[in-house]
Structure 1
Amino acid sequence: MMLTVTRLSRSYRRKAVLAGVSAHFPVGLSLLVGPSGAGKSTLLRLIATAEKPDGGVIGWEGVPLPRARAALRRTLGYAPQAVDLPEELTGREFAMHMAALKGLDLRTADAQFGAITDRIGLHADINGRIATYSGGMRRRLVFAQALLGTPRLLVLDEPTAELDAETAHHVGLLILERAQEACVIMTTHLADALAPQAVQVLRVEAGKMTAAS
């Protein structure tokens, strides 16, 4: 198993959002489903090391965090549902900034960014300032930067929200391609369409996680 979570818990203001969640995430697409506010985004933030759990263990390739945190982050692609983007930068400048933070070769990352944005209908706008971007364009930009460096762990929180059906389809194809080699963990309103290609569908509700029926 590439990534494991064992008895993971997280509370906010003494309210338990996750209560002893355990799961294995292998290579392939793992879908998280469940009602709004059930803890899916919280689980993704914990896996992406954007937050620390109150209890439990996250393991990456058999090594627990925090010992494996640096190795996990080196190969992580993360697209959160909500993110404050630097309005003054162009889409391309933001992507290259993220590539630099990941330690990627910028020439290679720039070529990869161009190829990804071409497939999801953003390429014509990458040199425009983010301040001029619509919600759907911002969503595509965040998704594109997550794919830079061909990460082996891809954590995606509603990457197809605010996208038209055709663009969402192309985003889905890119996700499935990456899932051939990577551990992809995702929430999406298109879960029913992607479920046949997923290695597992897990339901998060009331702080617990179970296999979806």
Structure 2
Amino acid sequence: MASLELKSVSKSYGRKQVLADVSLTFQPGLTLLIGPSGAGKSTLLRLLSTAERPNRGAISWNGNTARGPWRRTLGYAPQAVDLPEDLTAREFALHIAALKGLDLGAADKQFGAITDAIGLHADINNRIASFSGGMRRRLIFAQAMLGAPELLALDEPTAELDGETARKLGALIVERAKSAVVVMTTHLADELAPQAAAVLRVEAGQVRAA
């Protein structure tokens, strides 16, 4: 069974300590992160996605701390990202697929299916420069889902979306969590909590069961 483990992990930015001596184990299923703004939820997701390294402690994927194998099975949707404005959504997705080492034909079909499910398919051949905030959010989510990742880190994937579209994303996330480790923050935490394996509160540098 896939597992992601943190052992005595701490993260600071200058003199500000965001996470302090956090030890956790994530297994397949949906884990929701809640807590006040600025408490460290996004920092924790960046650590889980290898976008940042801890100052102290260790993070391992299936017992391995090497980042290469970890990244090949990872899907990450950050809350904010600079997208390549001159590319179409489809070109961007295929670029991400190539970086992941995915079969491009299969990835293209999967991207089409995901974007169709979340109401973005009609725009995948349009340049990202023309996208609204909600369309960009859906694109970031779709690229994270490519390759059916075993580890999915999602930072507010439903932000800027209308209720119906947010629920469609939620359904895809719950389905992926049946066979993957999914860790996410979302304003839909109350709606998704009944289907989550765990709800963790991040506050004052600590992560505890909510």
Q: TM-score, structure 1 length as denominator?
A: 0.97
Match for residue 142 of structure 1 among 140, 148, 157: 140
2:82 matched residue in structure 1:
84
Shift, 1:46, TM fit: 0.7
2:95 matched residue in structure 1:
97
Shift, 1:71, TM fit: 1.2
**Distance across 2 between alignment mates of 1:8 and 1:139:** 29
Match for residue 175 of structure 1 among 173, 176, 179: 173
1:30 matched residue in structure 2:
31
Gaps of 5+ in 2: none
2:43 matched residue in structure 1:
42
**Distance across 1 between alignment mates of 2:189 and 2:6:** 22
Shift, 1:143, TM fit: 0.2
**Distance across 2 between alignment mates of 1:141 and 1:17:** 29
Q: Deviations over 1:133-154 (max 9, x none)?
A: 0000000000000000000000
**Distance across 1 between alignment mates of 2:129 and 2:163:** 24
**Distance across 2 between alignment mates of 1:189 and 1:57:** 29
Match for residue 192 of structure 2 among 191, 194, 207: 194
**Distance across 2 between alignment mates of 1:128 and 1:199:** 38
Shift, 1:117, TM fit: 0.1
Shift, 1:206, TM fit: 0.7
**Distance across 2 between alignment mates of 1:23 and 1:35:** 20
Q: Deviations over 1:55-87 (max 9, x none)?
A: 011011122x2x3x1111010000000000000
2:7 matched residue in structure 1:
6
Matched, 1:17 2:46: no
Q: Deviations over 1:171-206 (max 9, x none)?
A: 000000100000000010110100010100000001
Please list, as runs of the form range in 1=range in 2, the aligned pairs for 1:35-74 lying within 5 A after superposition.
35-63=36-64, 65=65, 67=66, 69-74=67-72
CA RMSD of aligned residues (A): 0.7
Count of aligned positions = 209
Give the residue type in structure 1 aligned to 2:165: T
**Distance across 1 between alignment mates of 2:83 and 2:46:** 17
Misfit runs of 4+, over 6 Å: none
- SS of 1:5's equivalent in the other structure is strand
Identity between Structure 1 and Structure 2 (%):
70
Q: TM-score, structure 2 length as denominator?
A: 0.98
- SS of 1:184's equivalent in the other structure is strand
- SS of 1:192's equivalent in the other structure is helix
Give the residue type in structure 2 aligned to 1:31: L
**Distance across 1 between alignment mates of 2:150 and 2:14:** 34
Q: Deviations over 1:101-138 (max 9, x none)?
A: 00001000000000000000000000000000000000
